[in-house]
Amino acid sequence: MRRKSFAEMACPIARTLEIVGEWWTLLIVRDALLGARRFDDFRQSGIADNILSARLELLVREGVLERRAYQEHPPRYEYVLTEKGQDLLPVIVSLGRWGMKWTSTEQPLQPPRFVHVRCGAEVETSFHCPACHEPVPPRDVRVERAAAAAPVASVAGDSP
C-alpha cells in the first residue's frame, strides 16, 4: 500500500513531513547535527543499510544534505548538512525537549550542549547567545554530545 503524498498540500507542516516525516530521517539529521558525515557514522543508530541509503538519497535530493566525495578509489562519500539542513536544528531541539519532558527512560538523560561557533559560549535553546547577547542562527551553532553523567557518590554508611 502506497502512502498519500503531502507534497502538494497547502499546509507547510504537511509539506515538511513529506521530506522529514519518516522517523529515521530526523534521526539521520540529528546525527548529522552531532557530526556524523559518513555512511558508517549514521549506521551507529541501528538503521538498516537499505533504509539508510534511501533516506540519505532523499535528504540529498531535497537539499538537506550535500553528498561530497572524500575518496576516489574506491569511491566514498560523506554527507554534509546544507543551510536547509542546519535550519532543522530548532525542530530537533524542540522534539528533544518535548521527549525529555514527556517520555521516560531508565537511564538519566543529559541534553546536548549548543555552542556558539564564533565565541564558544553555550547557546540557550532559545538560540540567543548569553555571552554575545545576539540571536544565533542554526548555521552558527555546533551541537556537542553531553558528557556522560558522573556516577552517583555513595552516602556514608552505604555498602558498595
What does each of the 160 residues of the chain score in pLDDT, given as a tens digit? 567 788 887 888 889 888 998 989 999 999 999 899 999 999 999 999 999 999 999 999 999 999 999 999 999 999 999 999 999 998 988 888 888 888 887 777 777 778 888 888 887 777 778 888 888 887 888 878 776 555 444 344 444 4
Residues 30, 76, single domain; the answer is yes
In total, how many domains does the chain have?
2
What is the residue range of 64's domain? 12-85
Q: Is residue 104 in some structural domain?
A: yes
Residues 67, 96, single domain; the answer is no
What CATH number has the domain bearing residue 67?
Answer: 1.10.10.10
Residues 79, 95, single domain; the answer is no
Residues 17, 78, single domain; the answer is yes
Residue 134 is classified by DSSP as E
Q: Is residue 78 in some structural domain?
A: yes
- Cβ(58)–Cβ(20) under 8 Å? no
Residues 139, 96, single domain; the answer is yes
Residues 36, 54, single domain; the answer is yes
Q: Is residue 32 in some structural domain?
A: yes
Helix/strand/coil for 141: strand
- Cβ(41)–Cβ(31) under 8 Å? yes
Record the cell numbers describing residue 97, joined without a space.
525537549
Record the cell numbers describing residue 64, joined without a space.
538537506
Strand pairing class (141-144; 113-116): antiparallel
What is the DSSP track for 79-103? EEE-HHHHTTHHHHHHHHHHHHHH-
Residues 78, 53, single domain; the answer is yes
Residues 69, 101, single domain; the answer is no
Q: Is residue 158 in some structural domain?
A: no
